[in-house]
Structure 1
Amino acid sequence: MKAVAEHIYQRGKRGILYIRRRIPDAIRMTYPLKTTHITLSLGTSDLREGKVRARAELQRIDAEFEEKQQKCGMGCASWAPKSISSLTDEQLQLVGQSWLSNVLAGDEKRRQEGLDDEDFDELGVKLSTQRAYFGRLLAQGKTEGVHRPLFEYLSLCGIDYVPSEEEAKRAGFLFTRAVVETLDHQLVRQGGVLHTDSIPSQPPHPLTVVAGIGSVDSSDKVEGGPTWDEVFELWRTYVADRPKSTSIAAQTPWRDLQRFVKEKEVVFPGDVTAC
């Protein structure tokens, strides 16, 4: 693709314009494996019209990034990640379900937004290539290649996974099965077939599964930690160049939240439970 303006590229015989936006590292694991950018057609070859459409699409993508950041709240808000050296097969299978659900949610959203012929063909080739690669690794039992994605995904969820060599091999094998299963579902969708019976709609968060965080058991209750004011300050400064108007507009709901937690005697954010 040829760059013609910031975030805008041109390709194909008709010179159709596209936007291409890099996915922030902090939320990359919520997108399909090895996906580093979001690329969308603007449906026009006219640069002036393309810039107008690009502004709207970029605003929508920024909102999507922020929404995914919020959905990763348990992991991103984990100031002291839980250190884990061993996971049961059941825990690893549930982590795999969480991965599958997140990837397929992104896949479905992309398809709902529409794919032109070129993007559709590129996606098909990409999925087929990945399926062949990871399927071969699974068949050979050579699953070291998924250790990094697995560890990064767990880290994103607030889990510091430091396994032994034997533990890592077992975990890698089970996670590779989840990756292959995810790709199989995507390829079925690529063929225009919907099959969602075996897809968990709302799998438990890995931190809940592995470390018990978020359960209603009082023994798991987190005491101390960052205060409400510190959490708000982190939110306010986390996004570079966040518009001042956004921070000002957030003051009213923030004060409402402060009154609410005071009434409920919830001193720290870590004291919040599901009930």
Structure 2
Amino acid sequence: MKVVSENFYRRGKKGTFYCRRRVPHDLVSLYGGRHEILRSLKTSDESITLQRWRACMVELDQTFADLRKRHAALLDPAEPILVPHLSAPFVENLGRFWVQQVLLSDDAARLAGLDDEQFDELGDKLSAQRKELGRMLAQGCFDRIEPAFLAFLHLCGVSVQISDDERAQVLRGFLKSVISALDVQLERHDGKIRETHEVVAPDLVKPPAQLLLDQQARAQSASVSWQQVFDVWQSFVEQRPKSTVLAYQTAWRDLMKFADTRKLFCPADLTATSMTEFVQYMRASKTLQIGTINERLAKIKAIFRVAVGRQLLLTNPAQDTLGFRESVRGKLTKSRLPFTTEELEAIFCCPIYTNAQLRSQGQVGEASYWIPLLMLYTGARPEEIAGLQFESPLLS
């Protein structure tokens, strides 16, 4: 990489220009701890580089402004969210969020620069606070931190009434977080390097209001049944062909049977791990070809994609699930698996074959006679036969 100027780089054989931009300190945590952004201008022509660089800088300015706006909205929503009970995960996240925000503010103050008087004053203030709060923790005087705790919750857009049973435990946990933040600030004051994203990993902390909204969304997803998800997928396209619905329904029912064996009672209970186990479950059955397994997985992904888009579910657990790939040799020798005895008994269970009954002349016509024979001689499975039209055998 060749440095052309402070904001320009050239790299690669063609000398492509890149724009470099430092991430504002108050947004570093939102970029996973990264302190700079490097974007390709997609040109090696110096005559248009400046124009593209300006456009890139304007775009980044807008991105930073949008991030600040969204972050501020999370910190100060219009209506506080009422929390009837403070769970342990919520209190732990609140403590991490406090530490993160205190250290980000400390970063900004030190970046702006401190003269000798300000530096000494800050050091005395931090030491006095650490001594006072440490004594409060040692004595168990947690009530004195409650006003600060409630004020911080209000700033985060959360309203709560702490019960007497949980008050001491909650306030003690919050006080420990406040002291932890002071300890890091004092280490920084002694010249030690303590980066905010190393003390509090960005992926382990969320604004409290956002965490509560996510929990509410999960609770709503947990009430969504298997049939509701399938119905939403089916209604996504008007007048889906019956053969398509049956094929997708077969894959969905397979997933439901698997989920029942794992005590997963609704689609929201599924995870990426359980979807991988489902693929292995289909493979272990030894009655499905690799192509069929991959097709069913693709159908399930499509159903979940619609459910997520319609806000029924938060995530698509099958989004990154992999199927199987056949070797070239396997493709050359590909053949259908024979039906098992149980499958043949199910196929030929019609009275025409079991009780020498005459062929049906009713609504289904000759279907009850010919469909089992077609399955026997072609090896086709029920979901494949269900998609055939009357003209299909003639055309093929």
TM-score scaled to structure 1, two decimals? 0.51
RMSD after superposition: 3.3
Q: Which residue number corresponds to residue 199 of structure 2? A: 198
Are 2:133 and 1:131 equivalent residues in the alignment? no
Identity %, equivalent residues:
29
- CA drift of 1:217 comes to 7.7
SS of equivalent residue, structure 2 residue 202:
coil
**Is contact 2:74-2:210 (8 Å) kept?**
no
- CA drift of 1:151 comes to 1.3
SS of equivalent residue, structure 2 residue 89:
helix
Deviations 1:154-202 (A, max 9, x none): 1222211111123222111000000000000000000010124332335
Q: Which residue number corresponds to residue 6 of structure 1? A: none
Q: Which residue number corresponds to residue 156 of structure 2? A: 157
Q: CA 1:68 to 1:175, structure 2 compared with 1: closer, same or farther past 3 Å? A: farther
Are 2:114 and 1:112 equivalent residues in the alignment? no
**Is contact 2:93-2:208 (8 Å) kept?**
yes
For residues 101 and 216 of structure 2, what CA distance do their matches in structure 1 show?
19
Q: Which residue number corresponds to residue 184 of structure 1? A: 183
Are 2:87 and 1:77 equivalent residues in the alignment? no
Structure 2 letter corresponding to 1:168: R
For residues 183 and 160 of structure 1, what CA distance do their matches in structure 2 show?
26
Structure 2 matches for 1:1-275, cutoff 5 A? 71-79=71-79, 81-196=80-195, 197-201=198-202, 203-212=205-214, 219=221
Q: CA 1:162 to 1:101, structure 2 compared with 1: closer, same or farther past 3 Å? A: same
For residues 217 and 191 of structure 2, what CA distance do their matches in structure 1 show?
39
For residues 209 and 70 of structure 1, what CA distance do their matches in structure 2 show?
15
For residues 137 and 68 of structure 1, what CA distance do their matches in structure 2 show?
35
For residues 157 and 130 of structure 1, what CA distance do their matches in structure 2 show?
23
Q: What 5-or-longer segments of structure 1 have no aligned partner?
A: 1-66, 221-272
**Is contact 1:128-1:187 (8 Å) kept?**
yes
SS of equivalent residue, structure 2 residue 159:
strand
SS of equivalent residue, structure 2 residue 165:
helix
Structure 1 letter corresponding to 2:130: R
Structure 2 letter corresponding to 1:73: A
Q: Which residue number corresponds to residue 247 of structure 2? A: none
Q: Which has the larger radius of gyration?
A: 2
For residues 190 and 152 of structure 2, what CA distance do their matches in structure 1 show?
28
- CA drift of 1:210 comes to 3.6
**Is contact 1:75-1:155 (8 Å) kept?**
no
For residues 217 and 101 of structure 2, what CA distance do their matches in structure 1 show?
21
- CA drift of 1:207 comes to 1.6
Q: CA 1:215 to 1:193, structure 2 compared with 1: closer, same or farther past 3 Å? A: farther
Structure 1 runs of 4+ aligned residues shifted over 2 Å read: 67-72, 74-79, 195-202, 208-220
Between stretches 116-125 and 197-206, larger displacement belongs to 197-206
For residues 201 and 144 of structure 1, what CA distance do their matches in structure 2 show?
30
SS of equivalent residue, structure 1 residue 83:
strand
**Is contact 1:131-1:180 (8 Å) kept?**
yes
For residues 137 and 131 of structure 1, what CA distance do their matches in structure 2 show?
10
Q: What 5-or-longer segments of structure 2 have no aligned partner?
A: 1-66, 223-313, 317-396
For residues 68 and 127 of structure 2, what CA distance do their matches in structure 1 show?
27
Q: Which has the higher contact order (CA 8 A, sep 6+)?
A: 1
- CA drift of 1:87 comes to 1.4
SS of equivalent residue, structure 2 residue 199:
coil
For residues 69 and 136 of structure 1, what CA distance do their matches in structure 2 show?
39
**Is contact 1:84-1:163 (8 Å) kept?**
no
Q: CA 1:127 to 1:68, structure 2 compared with 1: closer, same or farther past 3 Å? A: farther
Structure 2 letter corresponding to 1:87: L
Structure 2 letter corresponding to 1:72: A
- CA drift of 1:205 comes to 1.3
- CA drift of 1:78 comes to 3.3
**Is contact 1:208-1:215 (8 Å) kept?**
no
- CA drift of 1:68 comes to 7.0
- CA drift of 1:136 comes to 0.8
TM-score scaled to structure 2, two decimals? 0.36
How many pairs were matched up? 161
